[in-house]
Structure 1
Amino acid sequence: MSSVATAPVVPGSLRTVASPWTLGPLHLPNRVVMGSMHTGLEVHDDGGAGMAAFYRERAAGGAACIITGGIAVNDEARGGPDFAVFGVGGADERFRAAVQAVHDEGSTILAQLFHAGRYALAAGLVDRDGRPQRVVAPSALPWAAARGVVPTAMTADEVERTIEDFAEAARSARAIGFDGVEIMASEGYLINQFQSPLTNLRDDEWGGSPERRRRFTVAVVRAVRAAVPELAVTIRLSGADLMPGSSTDDDVDALVHDLLPLGLDGISVGIGWHESRTPTVQAAVPHGAWLAYAARIARVVRASAHPDVRVIASNRMTDLRDGEAVLQDGLLDAVALARPFLADPALVSRSVAGRFDLVNTCIGCNQACLDRSIVGQPVSCLVNPRAGREIAFPARPTTEPKRVDVVGGGPAGLAAAVDAARRGHTVTVWEATGRLGGQFDLAALVPGKEDYAATVRAARAELDQRGATIHLGRRATAADLADSDAVVVAAGVVPRAVDVPGADLPHVRSYEQALREGVPEGTVAIIGGGGIGVDTAAFLVESPDEERRAAEFGARWDLEVSDAVVGDVPQRLPAAARTLRPGHDVTVLRRSGKFGQGIGITSRWVAIGRLRDAGVHMVGGVQEYLRIEPGVLWIRDEHGEEQAVPADHVVVCAGQERALSDGHDATPWTGDEADGRPTDGLVPGLQDAGVPFAVVGGARDARSVDAVRATSEALEAVRRLAP
C-alpha cells in the first residue's frame, strides 16, 4: 500500500477544498463533509430544538453536507438508550426540525442508517412493545464490553427482515426531508460483522465464504438504493478492521467491486473496530494516519467501470489544510471531519477566509465526546463547552454589554473570555504569568499533544479581533476589579510539592520545570503516575518530531502511515534542547490506583501502551517515599521493603493545588456554593467590594479538576454573571 503523494500546500490556499462537487443528485459548494457523530440529542424530548440548533451552527459555518449520528433501523439495532428509531417516540418530529434547520442555512443533510449488532448495550432497554431489547448478530459471539450479554444469531428470516428495515428507514428519511442516507458498514457494527470471518461463523447463504459474507452488505445497499432512487446514497465502509484475522485488503477491495454496480453515490472510508487494540482516533495517532486506506479504495474505484463514485477520506484530520493536501491530486473527492466540528462550528468558513488562526482545533482528547458517548452521557467538547448545548447557551449578542474581567488565562479563563467577547461584552484577561494557556501551554509540549497550543492560539486571535484587553505577567487585585460588572476567577493550578526528605535538592524539579526546561541526561524517577506523570514520561522518551513519531507509529502497528498532511503547531522547546532517553532510564511510581488515572477512558490505554512499548518502568503500590538522595530515590515498596530507584533526576507529578492560596482554605464560604470557596485575598476583596464573581475550575477545587469540568464551569459562570 502506498501513501498519498501530494505537492506542498501553499499556506492559506484551499482551492481544492473550497471547490464545488456533486454527490449523486447533490450539488455541494465545498468538499468538507461533517462526519457522523452520536450526540444524544437525537432522543432529547425537546421537539428537536437541541439537535436543530447543533446542526444549524455547523451548516451556517460552512459544512457542505452533514451526516447525522446513527439512526437505528429497528429497536434491536439501537446501540444504547440514547439512539433514535424513526417512527418511535417523536423521532420523526425531531429530525424534521433538524433537517429544516440545515436547509435554512443552505446546506444538505444525510441520515446515517445504523445497526449496532453485537455492539448494542441493551441492559435495561425495552422495545416499543415493552419487551427487553434483543441483541442480535450474525453469530452468537459477544464482545468485551457487552457485560456478559451473548447476542442471538439471526435467523435467515431475521436477516431478510433487517434488510427490509434498512430500506424502510431510508423511506422514512425521504419522507422527513433528508437529502440522502449513509449506510453504516464500518467500525465493527452489524454490516461490518457480517463481512468479517471473526464475527460471522455462519455456514448458510449469509456466511461460510468471503463471497457469502459480502452478501448482506450487497443486499442492504441494493434494497436502500431501490427504496430511495432519487436520493443520495453513500456507504461508510471499513478500509481496514485492524483486527487480526478479520477481513483482508483483498476482501475489502472485492466488496467495493460488488457494491459499485448498485448505484452508490459515494464511499466514506472508516477505520478500525471499537475493540481493536490499534489506536485510531486518539491524540497520539499521527494526523492523517489512515489516508492510505482511503487512497487504496479510491484506486479500486477509479480502475472500475464506475469511476465516478465519490470516495471520501476521514479520521485524524483537524485542519482544512490537511484536506487540501489530501485532495490536490484528484484521487480522493472530499474529506469528512467529525470532532473538529464539535470544537469549531465555523471551521470551514474561517478556514476558507484564510483565518486559520481563529479555528478552535480539535485536540483529540476524546474526554467530552467519545468518552461520554460510549457511556450514554451527553456529548460536548472540552475546547468548546457550548457544543451540544447550543439551546442552553445561545450565540446571540447580549442586549446589556458589561465589563467582564477574567482572572487567569488558562483553558477555563479563555473559555469564559471568548464567550463573553463574542456576545459583545468588554473583556479583560488578567494572567499572572507571561503567557496564556496555563495547563494547555504545558500540555502542548508533550509529544502528540501539540494541538493543545492551537486552542490557546485561537482564543488569543479571537480576543484580539474582538478588542479584548490582555494583561500578561500581572496578577489582578481586588482594586483592579472594583468597577467590574462580572469577574470569573479561573486562576488555575500549580504543581503540588511533596513532603519528602531531599525534595529541595537541585536535581528535583516539578513537572512544569521538566516540561518547560527539559531534563538533563541520566536516569529519571517520576513521583506520581497519574495523567501528568504519564505525560511527563512521554515527554522524556518520545520525539518532538511528528514525522518521526508517524514513522514509529506505522512500524509499531505494521501500517503505512500517510505523510500527506501538514503541521501547524511547532514544539516551542527546540528539539536540540530536548534530551530523549531510552525508556529503561525512566521509572514512574504510583502509590495506588491506575497509572494514567485522569486520562479519558478511550485514551488511557494508548498512553500507557506507548510507555510500556518504550520500556518505561512502572512501579505501583508504593507505600512510602522515604527520601531523595543524589542519584537515588528510596521508597518502601508494596511488600514493605526499602528499595532504591535510580534517579539522577526526580520529577514530582504529585498532583496540583490552587494557584491562588494564602491560607483562606479554612475560611467559611458564605457566597454561592456553586461558585466555590475563597482561594486567596482576591476573593474576600471582591466580596467586600460587592463585585459579582464566580470561582471556577482548578481555582475552585484543584483535587478533582479536569479541563472538561473547568471549561464547562467557566462557560456556565460567565453566562450567569453576564447574560
Structure 2
Amino acid sequence: MPDDPRLGVRSFPHVFSPGGIGGLALPHRIIMGSMHLNFESNPQALAAFYGERAAAGAALIVTGGAAVNREGSGGSTYLVSAEKPFLKAARSALEAVHDAGGRLALQLFHAGRYGFQDTYGLQPLAPSAVWSAYSSVLPRAMNESDIARTVQDFAAAASLARELGFDAVEIMGSEGYLVNQFASPLTNLRDDEWGGDAERRQAFPLAVLAAVREGAGSGFPVIFRMSGDDLVEGSGPPREHLALAAALARAGADALNIGIGWHESRTPTVQALVPHGSWLPVAGRIRRNLRGQGLSVPVIGSNRINSVAQAEAVLTDGTVDFVSMARPFLADPRILAKTEAGRMDLVNTCIACNEACIDRSLGTEPVSCLVNPRAGRELDYPALRLTGRISGDRARAAVVGGGPAGMQAAATLAAAGIQVVLFEAEAELGGQFRLARLVPGKADFDETIRYFSVELPRLGVKIRTGFRAGAVHLAGFDHVLDATGVLPRAVRLAGSGSVPVLDYHQAFADPAALPGRVAVVGAGGIAVDLAHLLLQPHALPRSGPESTDAARARFAREHLRDGTAQPGGRCVTLLRRGGRIGEGIGPSTRWAALQALRSAGVRLYTGVSYRGLAPGGLEITAAGGTEELIPAEAVIVAAGQVENTRLQRDLRRAGVPHTVIGGAASAAGLNAVRAFAQGLEAGTAVAQQLAGVTRERKRAPLP
C-alpha cells in the first residue's frame, strides 16, 4: 500500500484496506449506511440513486428498512417484504448495484410501537403496551402467537433476500424499533420468557437472529444493528448493551453495527451541533468488551462521521473495524472515488443540516440533500453533457450572487459546457453560509464554501469577487441568473436614545463588539443561530468556524449536563410577535437548538408587541398584556428577510434575458434547500435553452 499509485490510498491506508463481513469480502472499510428515502416505491429512481453510488465506490450499501410484515411498517412510504412493490424495487436496485460492481444488503425492519395505525389500519405491536410519543399510539402487547409469527416473518424476509440476490441482510435492532424495544426495560414490561430481567430481554433479539440465520442459509452474511446506548431515561444501562453484544456475537452475528439513541431521546446524536465522532466511543467500548472475551466479530461505528479522514482516525486507533456513513453519500456520491484519487478538496461535504434528508424521511417527501439537490433526483437531473456547436462565443451566462443558489446554478451551467462568469459583491463566495459557519455546531457550512471555491474553477467558471455587477456589465451575456439573495427585513422601533439598533448582518460581522445584554427582535432560525453564537464564552474574539475542542466543550456543556445556565456568555433575550420560537428550523434540529439556548438561560418571549426603545432597553407588551422593559444595551433586528430586487429591475429595463432564483425571487419561506434546488433547476433549464449555442465541453470529469 505505501507504493500504491493512488494518493488517497496512501493517505488513508486503514480505510482502503480490504475487510470482510462473514464470507463477504469488501475492498475497503466504509459502508454506505441505511437511509429511508421515501421513494423506494419508484424502482427506476431507486436504481439510479443506488447505482450511481455503487459505481463511485460504495462497495456495500445497506438499503432503507423493508418491513417484514405490514404491522411492522414505519409508514405509508415503507415497502413490505414479498409484496409486489418491494419485489419490483428490489430487483431494480439489485441490478443497478451489481452492474456497477457493488453489493447490496437488505435491512430487515419492524417498527413496533413506532408504527402508525393509519398506514394499514393495524394496531402497532410491541413487547408491552407502552405509549409511543413518536407515533402517538398505544401499541398492543404481543402475545406468544404474535411473537412466533413475527420471528418467522424475519426469517422469511431473510430467505427471500438471498433468493433475490442480496449480498447480506441487516437486522434493525436499534433506534427504538421493535427488536430494540424488547431489549429495553423501558418498553419491555413483561415477566415471561421474553422479559422480566436483562437476560430474558435478550431472548427476542437472539430469536430473531437465529431465525434470520436459518432463513438466509449457511454462509450468508447477517449484520445486526444494535443499540449501543438508548439515551432515554429508564432504559438499559451500558452493561446490558455490552452483554447483548456478546450474546449476539456468540450466536453468530457476522457484524455488529452500533446505533445510538431513540426518536424519543432528548440527547442529540445526528444534528450538526453534535461534534464529529462524538458517539464512536460507545462502539469502541463494545468492541473492547468483545475482544476481551475473545470474540472477533467486526464492529461498525457511525454517527457524525462525514469525511474519510475522520474514518481513518477511528480505524487507525482500533475504535471500530468498519465505519458506516449515510448522509455523506447523499452530499457526494463520489466521496470515496474522489478521496481515493487524492482529490479530497473536491468532496462535497455533508453539513448535517438534516433539512432535506432526516427531516423528510420522518414524513413522506422524497429524501434529497441540501448541498446536493440531485440526490434522489438522478433521473430528473442527470449530469448534463450538451454538445451543441456555434461559431464565436455567444453561449455565455452570468450568475450574479455567490450564495447557495448562485453557486449551484454556476456549477450546473458549467458542467453542461456553458461559459460562466460568477459575480459576487463580497470578497468571498458563500452568501449567508458565511454567517452560518460562525454559529456553534455549523462549522461544516464552511466546507460547502470550500467545495464550490474549488469545484467552480475546475469546471471553468470565472469568479469575480468584490464586484457588484449591474445591468451595464451584463448586457453581453446570453442569459443572466440573478441570485443576489435577500436583505434583512427592517423593523421600525419607536423611540431613540442610548440603545443602538443593528440588523443581523451587522451583528454577525462583529459579534465581539456587542455588549453583554442583548435583545433580539425576531426568533426564527437566524435569530436562534445568532443567540447561540453570542452565548459562547469562547466565541467573542474569534472570527472563524468553531474548533473541534470548542465544539466538544460546548456540546458537553449544553447537552450532556443538567441544563443549568452556564457562566461566561451574554444575557440574551429572544422576542417574537408570533407564537413559535425557531420557526423554519427542521424538526430534528429545532428541539436541540432550543435546548442549547435554554441550558444557557436565554429568555424566550412569544406573542409580544413592541412599544419602543427606552433608556436601558426595549419596552414590550407581553403576551398576557403586561408591559415590560427588556434590559438591553443593544437591540438586534433578525425578523426575516426581503427580496433584493435592484438587479432584476435594472435587467428588465435594459432588456437583458434573465432568470431570478433563490431569495431574490421570493424571501417567503426561504431556506437553503430551496436555494440550492432552484440553482439546479434554473441552471439546467438555462443550459437546455442555450444548448443550441453551446460549444462541446472538453474538460474531462474527475472521478
Question: TM-score, structure 1 length as denominator?
Answer: 0.88
Counterpart CA distance in 2 for 1:344 and 1:394 is 14
Which residue among 16, 21, 24 is the counterpart of 1:23?
Answer: 21
Which residue among 162, 167, 173 is the counterpart of 2:161?
Answer: 173
AA of the residue aligned to 1:493 = V
Counterpart CA distance in 1 for 2:521 and 2:502 is 10
How do residues 492-531 of structure 1 correspond to structure 2 at under 5 angstroms? Answer: 492-501=485-494, 507-518=500-511, 519-531=513-525
CA offsets per residue over residues 22-66 of structure 1, 9 Å max, x none? 12122211111111000012112xxx1100110112112222211
How do residues 368-447 of structure 1 correspond to structure 2 at under 5 angstroms? Answer: 368-400=356-388, 402-447=395-440
Secondary structure of residue in 2 paired with 1:618: strand
Q: Which runs of 5+ in 2 are unaligned?
A: 1-7, 390-394, 539-545, 689-703
Which residue among 140, 144, 156 is the counterpart of 2:133?
Answer: 144
Change (3 A) 1:142 1:583: same
Which residue among 571, 584, 591 is the counterpart of 1:585?
Answer: 571
Does 202-211 or 600-609 show the bigger shift?
202-211
Counterpart CA distance in 1 for 2:493 and 2:558 is 39
Secondary structure of residue in 2 paired with 1:244: coil
Match of 2:334 in 1: 346
Which residue among 664, 668, 671 is the counterpart of 1:703?
Answer: 668
Change (3 A) 1:683 1:287: farther
Does 526-535 or 499-508 show the bigger shift?
499-508
Match of 2:640 in 1: 655
Counterpart CA distance in 2 for 1:492 and 1:12 is 42
Match of 2:264 in 1: 275
Counterpart CA distance in 2 for 1:364 and 1:684 is 42
Which residue among 65, 68, 75 is the counterpart of 1:70?
Answer: 65
Change (3 A) 1:398 1:301: farther
Counterpart CA distance in 1 for 2:242 and 2:164 is 34
Secondary structure of residue in 2 paired with 1:239: strand
Are the counterparts in 1 of residues 280 and 319 from structure 2 also a CA contact under 8 Å?
A: no
Mapped pair 1:245 → 2:234: yes
Are the counterparts in 2 of residues 79 and 122 from structure 1 also a CA contact under 8 Å?
A: no
Are the counterparts in 2 of residues 54 and 390 from structure 1 also a CA contact under 8 Å?
A: yes
Counterpart CA distance in 1 for 2:457 and 2:117 is 49
Does 275-284 or 399-408 show the bigger shift?
399-408
**Where has structure 1 moved over 6 Å in runs of 4 or more?**
503-506
Secondary structure of residue in 1 paired with 2:134: helix
Offset of residue 16 of structure 1: 1.0
Does 107-116 or 644-653 show the bigger shift?
644-653
Match of 1:219 in 2: 207
Are the counterparts in 2 of residues 50 and 388 from structure 1 also a CA contact under 8 Å?
A: yes
Counterpart CA distance in 2 for 1:620 and 1:473 is 39
Change (3 A) 1:581 1:300: closer
Match of 2:37 in 1: 39
Offset of residue 118 of structure 1: 0.7
Offset of residue 557 of structure 1: 4.7
Secondary structure of residue in 2 paired with 1:429: strand
Q: CA RMSD in A?
A: 2.1
Secondary structure of residue in 2 paired with 1:633: strand
Are the counterparts in 1 of residues 246 and 295 from structure 2 also a CA contact under 8 Å?
A: no
Offset of residue 169 of structure 1: 0.6
Change (3 A) 1:11 1:52: closer
AA of the residue aligned to 2:69 = N
Change (3 A) 1:628 1:682: farther
Change (3 A) 1:710 1:555: closer
CA offsets per residue over residues 52-91 of structure 1, 9 Å max, x none? 1101121122222111000111111110010011221332
Which residue among 110, 113, 118 is the counterpart of 2:113?
Answer: 118
Secondary structure of residue in 2 paired with 1:145: coil
AA of the residue aligned to 1:607 = A
CA offsets per residue over residues 599-633 of structure 1, 9 Å max, x none? 11111111111011001111222112x33345422
Q: Which runs of 5+ in 1 are unaligned?
A: 1-9, 127-131, 560-579, 663-678
Mapped pair 1:260 → 2:249: yes
Are the counterparts in 2 of residues 540 and 581 from structure 1 also a CA contact under 8 Å?
A: no
Are the counterparts in 1 of residues 559 and 596 from structure 2 also a CA contact under 8 Å?
A: no
Counterpart CA distance in 2 for 1:169 and 1:326 is 33
Aligned length, in residue pairs: 662
Offset of residue 356 of structure 1: 2.2
Are the counterparts in 1 of residues 82 and 157 from structure 2 also a CA contact under 8 Å?
A: no
Secondary structure of residue in 2 paired with 1:33: strand
Counterpart CA distance in 1 for 2:48 and 2:467 is 39
Mapped pair 1:551 → 2:553: yes
Match of 1:195 in 2: 183
Offset of residue 315 of structure 1: 0.3
Secondary structure of residue in 1 paired with 2:226: strand
CA offsets per residue over residues 454-507 of structure 1, 9 Å max, x none? 111101110111211111122233343334343322111121222113579783
Which residue among 616, 622, 625 is the counterpart of 2:608?
Answer: 622
Change (3 A) 1:683 1:380: farther
AA of the residue aligned to 2:572 = V
Change (3 A) 1:293 1:621: same
Question: TM-score, structure 2 length as denominator?
Answer: 0.91
Which residue among 526, 537, 543 is the counterpart of 2:531?
Answer: 537
CA offsets per residue over residues 379-411 of structure 1, 9 Å max, x none? 111111111111110124223374332221101
Counterpart CA distance in 2 for 1:94 and 1:394 is 20
Secondary structure of residue in 2 paired with 1:368: coil
Counterpart CA distance in 2 for 1:637 and 1:164 is 59
Change (3 A) 1:200 1:441: same
Match of 2:683 in 1: 718
Counterpart CA distance in 2 for 1:717 and 1:142 is 46
AA of the residue aligned to 1:473 = G
Offset of residue 555 of structure 1: 5.2
Counterpart CA distance in 2 for 1:442 and 1:394 is 32
Are the counterparts in 2 of residues 498 and 652 from structure 1 also a CA contact under 8 Å?
A: yes
Counterpart CA distance in 1 for 2:49 and 2:68 is 23
Secondary structure of residue in 2 paired with 1:324: helix
Offset of residue 717 of structure 1: 1.4
Are the counterparts in 2 of residues 320 and 351 from structure 1 also a CA contact under 8 Å?
A: yes
Change (3 A) 1:411 1:503: farther
Which residue among 455, 461, 469 is the counterpart of 1:462?
Answer: 455
Change (3 A) 1:189 1:683: farther
Secondary structure of residue in 2 paired with 1:386: coil
Percent identity of equivalent pairs: 48
